[in-house]
Chains A and B, each alone.
Chain A
Amino acid sequence: MPDPKLRHLRIEGVSKSFGGQVALSDFHLDVLGGEFVALLGPSGCGKSTMLNCLAGLLPLGAGRITLDDRRIDTLPPERRGFGMVFQNYALFPHLTVRRNVAFGLHARKTPSDEVGPRVERSLEQVRLTEHADRYPSQLSGGQQQRVAMARAIVLEPPLILMDEPLSNLDAQLRTELRTELRRLHQDLGLTTVYVTHDQSEALSLADRIVILRSGRMLQVGTPEEVYTQPAGAYVAAFMGYRNLLPAQLKEARDGRATVLLAGGQVELDGVDRTGDGVGDLVAAIRPEDLRVGGGSGGDGDRNLIRCRAEVVEYQGNELVVTAEAAAGLSLQLRTRERVAPGDELSVRADPARVLVFEAAS
């Protein structure tokens, strides 16, 4: 793997508002050379704002950005030398694929005998050589996306910024290009900041994930960290904890918490992830962590919830069941058992996989 062209990108306390409305507040991040960092969050949380601030397309409201201890946030975009892949690709419609890719080399006054070979090489890397003489309007979405990639990587930029580059594509192409992106990142020794609202994209691509909500950072960590140890109920919901059940604390001890659900009718053991345990709590459980037919677990009624299947969706090798428990408690679970609507179920949740959070986190 080639050496990254950057050692250390530091973003310190960056904020940005649009006419009083805060789009990004106090963003801190250190990116090391060769890293693939994903900014993950729902629509409108400030992901593009952060990326545009990095690229120099938006002035910062506050804060500073340094690249290997050199301050860059005051430079215009054309002097930062980063590559950017736009959400809508933003290809030059009046230029062929080849000239689109060569644009940056010409703009940066690359010696003309170098331009040709470098363009051909990056067209090969994104497998577009045979389309080099077409115009963007003659390409499919996936091909356009790869032109946008080639146009950025041909410059061998120290940092490459991507704004939801796969969001316009169909599911199959998305998974294909995802693999291709990761391959390019490794083969070329790129350092990448990648914006997405798709958690599976972030989990599969990134070395580190930053989770944003309303312009604030909620958690920074490896995919495994954010997946298994979400910092709060909101991140948990984003990471597939579909069941966020309102709960009251019964007791908390040694990092474990026992909570009461449905007005005390259900008692649940889980991992205590609350700060101080005051206020309203939620118990977060993934649908796949609720096991049907756990009646003979040996430890009586612990973590056992009785419910009735309401909606059953067939999903190939498993069923997704929406079930109603006591006091209007609604559960979602995945199972390979045969379940029909109206069936009475008892489901068991592994205490090690139940997380207890403060509701407002």
Chain B
Amino acid sequence: MSRAVAADRPAAGRSLRHRLAAVGLDRVVLLAIPAAATIGLLFVYPFLYGLGLSFQPLDGGGVFANYRAFFNDAYQASTIAKTLRLALPAALLNVAVSVPIAHKMRRPMRFKRLITTALILPVTLGTVLVAEGLIRYFGPQGWFNQALLGLGLIDAPLRLTNNYVGVFASLVITGFPLALLIVLGHASGIDPDVEKAAATLGAGPTQRFWKVTFPLMLPGVSIAFMLAFVAAFAVFPSAVMVGNPSGETRVISIAAYQAAYEQFDYPMASTIAMVMAAVELAVIGVILGLRSRLYRGATSGGKG
């Protein structure tokens, strides 16, 4: 009796809640509103502001003058290719190395915590410290070259910094732990019995990996790749410190920096930032497209 009364009274409020729930809105979703608002303020507003600015060139010439100027100037436009040449292979390598390591680390192993800590440490260092370390270690006067010279293995120091190699190395050192964390976090949610089942069905280790484990790891792998790529595409400090910022590692963020703080052309800097965003979105779109073609179904088959 008392139940029926209690159920009757808030009928109006309840039906609203039910209607919201029917379209996928419940109180938990409401919790996301502050976060969404913050993103709106910190990301969408500056983005739209920058987008508007990019259409107001300082020297006139029409709405698209800045974009035309960027793409017609080979020195500027080539920054896209230079950045992609760094970011794509670095992200690919980081993820490709993460996959087998994450695969191994899923099962119980010795020193797991120690290994995880050692792998994750570079994240806490920051790019500047890593770049400094690279100079000290791999620079012409660094230990690495001195050791090789001392052993008589080389006659002149190898050029490992102030070029592509230096920046690439720094992107791997700072990007790999991130990729591994994401891949590992996702892979540890895969039911280990699924691989055992594949084994009892006659699949050997290679087949098990390619037919079962890897497809199940793919969602995590693609997220790791996208984040690793976006982080690498925005590379700045190491491109300056261990790269060749006026030559082969003049990445797109350097071009944006120079437009903003050397030429004080904010509309041009905004234009370059918009080009960056467009390239990143294009790559992410390709990855998402590939992923939806390769992978269907849920990560874990539920139980009864």
Contacts and interface: CB of A to CB of B under 8 A. Distances in A.
Interface of A: 55-57, 76-78, 80-84, 86, 88-96, 103-104, 107-108, 135-137, 140-142, 144-145, 151-152, 155, 161, 168-169
A104 B304 contact: no
Nearest to A104: B201
A84 B300 contact: no
A298 B215 CA distance: 76
B61 interface: no
Nearest to B298: A137
B175 to A, nearest CB: 27
A80 B204 CA distance: 12
Given A90-B194, A94-B296, A78 B199 contact: yes
A107 B202 contact: yes
Contacts of B197: 84, 86, 90-92, 151
A135 B201 contact: no
Given A78-B200, A107-B202, A141-B303, 17 more contacts: A57-B200, A76-B199, A77-B199, A80-B200, A84-B200, A90-B194, A93-B216, A93-B298, A94-B216, A103-B198, A104-B203, A108-B201, A135-B298, A136-B301, A137-B297, A137-B298, A140-B304
B199 A145 contact: no
Given A88-B303, A135-B297, A55 B200 contact: yes
B207 interface: yes
Contacts of A56: 199-200
Interface in B176-203: 191, 193-194, 196-203
Among A78, A94, A135, A169, the most chain B Cβ lie within 10 Å of the Cβ of: A94
Question: Looking at chain A's contact residues, is the secondary structure mostly helix, strand, loop, or mixed?
Answer: loop
Contacts of B201: 78, 83, 103-104, 107-108, 151-152, 155
B302 interface: yes
A108 B200 CA distance: 11
Contacts of B299: 93
Nearest to A58: B196
Contacts of A78: 199-204
A93 B304 contact: no
A94 B303 contact: no
B191 A90 contact: yes
- Of B197, B200, B296, B302, which is in contact with the most chain A CB atoms at under 10 Å from its CB? B200
A102 to B, nearest CB: 10
Please classify how large the interface on chain B is, using the bins under 10, 10 to 19, 20 to 34, 35 or more. Answer: 20 to 34
B301 A93 contact: yes
Interface in B199-222: 199-204, 207, 211-212, 215-216
A279 to B, nearest CB: 43
B43 interface: no
Given A103-B203, A155-B202, A77 B302 contact: no
Given A93-B301, A141-B303, A168-B303, A135 B296 contact: yes
Contacts of B204: 76, 78, 107
14 contacts: A78-B202, A88-B193, A90-B191, A91-B301, A92-B197, A92-B212, A93-B297, A94-B215, A96-B297, A107-B204, A137-B301, A144-B302, A151-B197, A168-B304
A82 B197 CA distance: 11
B295 interface: yes
A82 B202 CA distance: 9
Contacts of A80: 200
Contacts of B202: 78, 81, 104, 107-108, 155
A137 B296 CA distance: 11
B199 A89 contact: no
Contacts of B194: 90-93
A104 B193 CA distance: 15
B211 A103 contact: yes
A128 to B, nearest CB: 15
Closest 10 pairs (CB-CB, A-B): A141-B304, A104-B201, A136-B301, A90-B193, A168-B304, A93-B301, A90-B197, A107-B202, A77-B199, A107-B203
B219 to A, nearest CB: 10
Contact of A107 (B196, B198, B298, B303): B198
